[in-house]
Every structure is written in C-alpha cells, then in structure tokens.
Amino acid sequence: MNDFLITHGWKILTVCISAIPTIILFTIKGRISHWFNRDLESHRAELDRKSRQIQSSLDTQLETMRIEFGLIQSERLQILKEACGRLTEILNQINTIASYYKYDCKENVDYDKKCLSDGNECRNDCIINYWDKIISFDKYTRQTNDFLENNQMFFPMEVTIKHMEIIALVYNLRKEAYDINHNLNNTSKEKALGSFRLFYQFDKSEITELRNDLINEYRLLIGVSPLKSYSVNDYRLLQTYEKNKKN
C-alpha cells in the first residue's frame, strides 16, 4: 500500500490538483448561471411590468383620443348640418322676396302705409313688409358668414372658398337692394317694385350649383358617397378626372 502511494501518490496528487480548477470553474459557472438566470427572470419580470404599464398608458391615451375624436366628429357633423341648413335658408329667403314680383296686387299697394289684417296689424309675410324681409335676409346672411368663418377649421380650403363665393354673390344682391331703397329719387312704390324685380331676376343658378357641390362635399366629409354606385374614394377619383378633363 505504501509502495503504491509512493509510486502513484504524485500522480494522484497531480490529478487532484489539476481537477481543482475544473471543480472551481464548474462551481463558479453554476453560481454565475444561477445569478444570471435569477437576474434574467427579474429583468423579464421588470420588463413585463413596464410593458403592462406602457400598454395601459397607451390604452388610456387611445381611449381618450377616441373619445376626443368622437366629440370632434360629432361637433363637425352638427356644423355641417347647420351649414347645409343655412345655405338652404338663404335660397328660401331669396325666393320669398322674389315671389312678391308675381303678386297681382303689387302695383296697387300703398307702400307708405301698413295694411290692415283681421288683427289690425299687417302680417309678417305681407308684401308691404318686403323691406323687413330684406333686412332679415341681410342679417341672416351676415350671421351665416360669421358662422362659416368661425368654423372654417372644420372645412377643407376648397369648401371654405365655395362658402366665400356664395356669400359674395349674396352680398352683391344685398348691396343692390340697399342701393335701390336708399335712392332718394325713388318713390316708395318704385323702391318696392325695384326690389321685387331685383330678387326675381337674380340668377340663383350659381348659388344653387355651389350649394349642391357643397352638399356633396359635406357628404364626403362624413364618409357618405354622393353617388350610390360609387365609394367615397371612387367619387374622389371621378372628381379628379372631371377636373382634369375640363383643364
């Protein structure tokens, strides 16, 4: 036994000594792997936590934006609806004043007096009240212009330009009516008949065409195609084609 130890002791010792680094290496590697896995799991958990926080924040912001967008779209829809109604009302008021031109009694009315109705007071739609109608028309047009200007942020520029074109046409009509009625050389009857003739002969086709174009634009703004057989994108392409063909 002693001879064996003497003969092979150094070899055994050498093997043991050479194995120590390997043992230490495996031990350290195991610990490092353990620490790394533990840190990795901790890091993953932290990433998951932050990811959930970010996702929650994004979901909240998205929901807020969705609500805000919905409110803006709802407000825009109301503005488009009112704009459409105002354009229609402008034409209606022009037609109302123009209709006096067809009254058989217009030549025989004393425009310096108030007519007597059943209630001893002239009705609002009486021909004698034509000037009140013109003033109301002027006031309504100004209010419409203010409304369109205050809300032009909701309209594309080409729509705003068409609004301005309609207002300009109406303002010119209003100015001519004021010129007739402020002419001191005209009698009350001449002022009235001149106003009736002015509104009756006024060419409403340009305003009507602009209004129809605007209604189509309003439809597109809310995602409704003006033509049943076309999508919104198809209609846009058709518009572009028609414009290019004219040019």
Mean pLDDT over the full length of the chain: 80
SS3 state of residue 122 = coil
Exposure b/e, 100-125, CB count within 10 A at least 16 = b: bbeeeebeebebeeeeeeeeeebeee
Confidence bin at 23 (pLDDT 50/70/90): low
222-239 pLDDT, tens digit per residue, is 887 776 666 667 666 766
% of the chain at pLDDT higher than 90: 41
| C-alpha–C-alpha distance, residues 128 and 124, integer Å | 9
Residue 123 has pLDDT above 70, yes or no: no
| C-alpha–C-alpha distance, residues 92 and 189, integer Å | 24
User: Would you give the DSSP letter of residue 229?
Assistant: T
Report pTM: 0.66
Name, of 51-55, 190-194, 231-235, the range with top average pLDDT: 190-194
125-150 pLDDT, tens digit per residue, is 688 889 999 999 999 999 999 999 99
- Of 64 and 18, the structure prediction assigns the larger pLDDT to 64
Confidence bin at 54 (pLDDT 50/70/90): confident
| Confidence (pLDDT) at 86 | 95
Confidence bin at 29 (pLDDT 50/70/90): low
Query: What mean pLDDT do residues 158-176 have?
Result: 94
Residue 100 has pLDDT above 80, yes or no: yes
Question: Which two tokens mark 158?
Answer: 């080409």
- Of 227 and 111, the structure prediction assigns the larger pLDDT to 111
| Confidence (pLDDT) at 5 | 47
Query: What mean pLDDT do residues 115-124 have?
Result: 57
Of 152, 175, 174, the closest CA to residue 162 belongs to 152
| Confidence (pLDDT) at 31 | 63
